[in-house]
Structure 1
């Protein structure tokens, strides 16, 4: 099953990466071609025909594509061993994954991306509008119109974001488990993010221009004016980067949560469970479990109970049995009178519903054949002690329980073992499984179930991690292309300003502020979106997702900071070199 899931997941990841690679390369190639319009105009003046022009672009793109494919396959081969080590650790494979040269994968990758570059080469050669020779030569000299925004669309951005966040919070806090509600919330958030960057951000910067004392202070005039143009030019790019990054954060964070041991413990808090039918082999099995735990010097607590299933689908648990189990788990004991009962949740969904909406049932009728008894509900417990025992499970007094037990001749009984550090009981669980026979379905081990779940969800984590890294790389590259697309214009602009007294230090300050906006504004927005997603996830589970969310934000944030300083250094170097 794990192998089949992994194969399916990898195929889906391949398709997603291939589709995004197409749009990414189309964007990047188009961005670089626009920078060469002046060059194309000069070639036209020298007599190049349109047919020769299209052939030039096609050959250039194919040469770059083939070089990229070869470099990518070589780099990927060297990095695959590192990925295999990480994958073996995530999937809890003790012997690891052996390294080999994936000839089939290399050929498929080469063929797929060769086709991709072929399509890109055909598309981009038609995307560049040659126009007149004069238009191409003077393409860089055209002044940009002042950005225009609408105050109503700016307000709409805030309204859409508030509505989207509200729907997601309703889904999580009120436990309204509706796919339509969740998708609507995500859709409104995405739409609100688009208007936030295209309208609200530019409108806010324009408001700063009206504050004369602030606007005319030192280099603020240049900085704010550039902010406004850059926001307008890069609004769609900011939107794409923030949405892609938020998707990567959320996907990886969710998969980390799925592999968390707390998820398994939340559903079933017992390290070992055994169902006995009163046979001699069952008694030996219970003794075997005790012996193996004692032999491994692992402290444990044991409890047992026998549920009574009534005619009207109510499950009865004896009070003394409950107190024994609750004490083992560290929960307080309870007391009930003869005609009282306590509701106990048996599923996470039921527990959350009671926590949010409360338990309004005050009286409950218990029907068992000819016996009919009404009990008063004292309260509902906020934690799970008897997982998956029955849909309506109540704790009743020993006297009431004995009354319903009369005539029940079954020897069915559940034994549960509580171990504090149950994650360390893998070897014990394997020894018990061997001694009880692997096909013995009466025995259940939490650590083995968790490791199986970890392997299944580990595949999702690996896939989401790979896709997330690819998305993040795309996002960083979008920023890089936009930065260097405006390099020539910036050189001319700063060269003119430097002639009227702009110092090197002031230039560095202006550029740094603009690059901070370019690099960190979409990431900050993505972190806000991701934080909301993690908050919603936290409301759905009992264990903390804070650590995994911090790891994700810090990892991607650190990568962005490093990328920022490298890009800033290279960009300033280009400016200083060409402005002299």
Structure 2
């Protein structure tokens, strides 16, 4: 057996140890390949079909930045995992050196092992990516709202780029792995078994500080959302406090809580609680930083993907514009405008869609106050299903035109309880009865005041000599507007036959479609990066388990000699693994849950469904991972203590 065969056999003998490292590496290769598959797709090279240049730019930038993120994060993750396994094998390396292996040969062996694992991960990752490439393209076309779909092609450029990038990455990892062993003497390698550790301690003040920081961070985030204080420093400060509090939660509060359980004798000395709590105390202290990283990474993944799903919800497009169609025209183009309105009505009827039509013409007074008359406003809100309003001659209603104005009215009410309406030489004071918290007036920016028909006509009459006219907005409310795609395309085709650009038709369906394309890019970017982060975070737990496996085997072998049964061992290990796998995830779910509650304050539609989808998806993966790890870990321990 030559040296190369010896290195290959080392990898094969340690396949159980290296399996998580290999699978995580192959998965990151597959995700990187997926970005390349989309980036080099002939139909996406020049931007998304039917999207704007901005969306094309965002797509290109998003895919490129995401590839960098996956690549860089993969480097640090793989370096961490290799370091964890080198720590486990230090005694083995020491024995090999006693038997005559030189440092140079040891480094060469490690280099060959890492190159072998890397090559296998690259081949497996690209192979799986190619196998599912058609499915990936189908899903991507759906997410990015590409109506014509993304046909399959042979991604030679993506394959070459992925192979070269990860070959360089694994080469660097192999070189770094050799450097990790240069520190320490031969004696240190042989005696690499952990020496007895002192009893973990925690400060009660820092434990309380952890809770305080997290609560304060939550408060700042909720103030940002509920009170609409859109200050980046407030939001960033809240996130920083939560992250800092999470660090102290695992390094101080969790240890302090376990010490508290030890002092509760009735609980501590019940059945196997003594072993479970004592072992958890050391595990939590040793793995506190890892738990912290897993929690923060997982919370980022949950929140990023959930927020992106909410951005693509059709309710977001309808927040600022509830009308399926908004058509604007001026008096001088009335004849052509009426023909266009007839086209809209005809196409809606052909499509079998029920609609409610209304019209509004906002005007400005001499002192810049925007007015609409009550009769037109009632037509708008009744088409939306709201009851009609009544006003006196000098009474008015403020109606928002943007989401920020709507939220401002909801939180603070009207900024002023009266407005001065200046019409020529006449000035009248209008009392504001209320500020509405829903958007009804289309294409409205700034405060809009609903007034009586008489006051509106007086203001309009005072401006008869002005050179310009006001745009009239014709609205068509369709409850099932998400199914107006064919109708919208037919309307535009008839408009564009021989007309100029004097008319403006705003289609809610097309706005939603563009938002879907933009969201599809964000979802692909955040979703794939989030899944990679979550996979790496879950693998951290696996690596820590196997880093401590030798100590666990020795410890439980000794305990088994004094009567520990396999059933009791299973209970103890299961309790520990539940804490290790699900405590960081629980904290991550709480953090992201608060983020979703805050997000809900900013939108009118429910995001509960999106939040539950994310939680259920990742929780299902974690549960599967837990049972697989528990089965393999218990199987290994049971064999060793027999």
Q: TM-score range by the shorter chain?
A: over 0.9
CA contact (8 A) 2:326 2:442 kept: no
Cα shift at 1:94: 2.8
CA contact (8 A) 1:314 1:391 kept: no
Alignment partners' CA distance in 2, 1:141 and 1:285? 81
Equivalent residue number for residue 477 of structure 2: 418
2:201 maps to which of 148, 155, 159 = 148
Q: Deviations over 1:81-134 (max 9, x none)?
A: 222111111122233211122111111111111111122222222123552333
Equivalent residue number for residue 52 of structure 1: 105
Equivalent residue number for residue 516 of structure 2: 454
CA contact (8 A) 1:313 1:391 kept: no
2:633 maps to which of 567, 571, 574 = 571
Q: Secondary structure at the match of 2:193?
A: helix
Cα shift at 1:407: 4.8
Alignment partners' CA distance in 1, 2:306 and 2:197? 42
Q: Deviations over 1:228-277 (max 9, x none)?
A: 01101111111111111100111111111111100010010000010122
1:75 maps to which of 120, 128, 132 = 128
Unpaired stretches in structure 1, ≥5 consecutive residues: none
Unpaired stretches in structure 2, ≥5 consecutive residues: 1-52
2:158 maps to which of 101, 105, 112 = 105
Q: Secondary structure at the match of 2:318?
A: helix
Equivalent residue number for residue 400 of structure 1: 455
Query: Which one is further off, 44-53 or 488-497?
Result: 44-53
How has the CA–CA distance of structure 1 residues 299 and 141 changed in structure 2, closer, same or farther, with 3 Å as cutoff? Answer: closer
Equivalent residue number for residue 484 of structure 1: 546
Q: Secondary structure at the match of 2:287?
A: helix
CA contact (8 A) 1:314 1:390 kept: no
1:305 maps to which of 324, 343, 360 = 360
Alignment partners' CA distance in 1, 2:423 and 2:545? 76
How has the CA–CA distance of structure 1 residues 496 and 413 changed in structure 2, closer, same or farther, with 3 Å as cutoff? Answer: same
1:115 maps to which of 156, 165, 168 = 168
Alignment partners' CA distance in 2, 1:427 and 1:446? 13
Equivalent residue number for residue 426 of structure 2: 371
Equivalent residue number for residue 413 of structure 2: 358
Cα shift at 1:76: 1.5
Cα shift at 1:557: 0.4
Q: Deviations over 1:259-300 (max 9, x none)?
A: 110001001000001012232110000011111111111110
CA contact (8 A) 1:343 1:380 kept: yes
Structure 2 matches for 1:389-538, cutoff 5 A? 389-408=444-463, 410=469, 412-437=471-496, 440=501, 441-538=503-600
Q: Secondary structure at the match of 2:527?
A: helix
CA contact (8 A) 2:362 2:470 kept: no
Q: Deviations over 1:364-388 (max 9, x none)?
A: 1112443322111111111111143
2:374 maps to which of 319, 322, 340 = 319
Cα shift at 1:473: 0.7
CA contact (8 A) 2:396 2:432 kept: yes
CA contact (8 A) 2:348 2:354 kept: yes
Equivalent residue number for residue 228 of structure 1: 281
Structure 2 matches for 1:244-263, cutoff 5 A? 244-263=297-316
Cα shift at 1:309: 1.4
Is residue 273 of structure 2 the alignment partner of residue 211 of structure 1? no
CA contact (8 A) 1:313 1:392 kept: no
Alignment partners' CA distance in 1, 2:628 and 2:442? 54
Equivalent residue number for residue 43 of structure 1: 96
How has the CA–CA distance of structure 1 residues 118 and 34 changed in structure 2, closer, same or farther, with 3 Å as cutoff? Answer: same
Query: Which one is further off, 65-74 or 427-436?
Result: 65-74
CA contact (8 A) 2:371 2:450 kept: yes
> What is the root-mean-square deviation in Å for CA atoms of aligned residues?
1.4
Alignment partners' CA distance in 2, 1:130 and 1:390? 66
Alignment partners' CA distance in 1, 2:584 and 2:209? 19
Q: Secondary structure at the match of 2:414?
A: coil
Q: Deviations over 1:429-449 (max 9, x none)?
A: 110011111874511110111
Alignment partners' CA distance in 2, 1:177 and 1:110? 44
Equivalent residue number for residue 183 of structure 1: 236
Cα shift at 1:63: 2.0
How has the CA–CA distance of structure 1 residues 550 and 141 changed in structure 2, closer, same or farther, with 3 Å as cutoff? Answer: closer
Alignment partners' CA distance in 2, 1:286 and 1:87? 37
Cα shift at 1:506: 0.7
Q: Under a length normalisation based on structure 2, what TM-score does the superposition of the two structures give?
A: 0.88
Cα shift at 1:416: 0.3
Q: Secondary structure at the match of 2:430?
A: strand
Equivalent residue number for residue 280 of structure 1: 335
CA contact (8 A) 1:340 1:375 kept: yes
Alignment partners' CA distance in 2, 1:548 and 1:214? 40
Q: Under a length normalisation based on structure 1, what TM-score does the superposition of the two structures give?
A: 0.97
Alignment partners' CA distance in 1, 2:445 and 2:304? 33
Cα shift at 1:490: 1.1
Cα shift at 1:408: 4.4
Is residue 390 of structure 2 the alignment partner of residue 335 of structure 1? yes
Alignment partners' CA distance in 2, 1:399 and 1:66? 81
Q: State how many pairs are aligned.
A: 580
CA contact (8 A) 1:347 1:387 kept: no
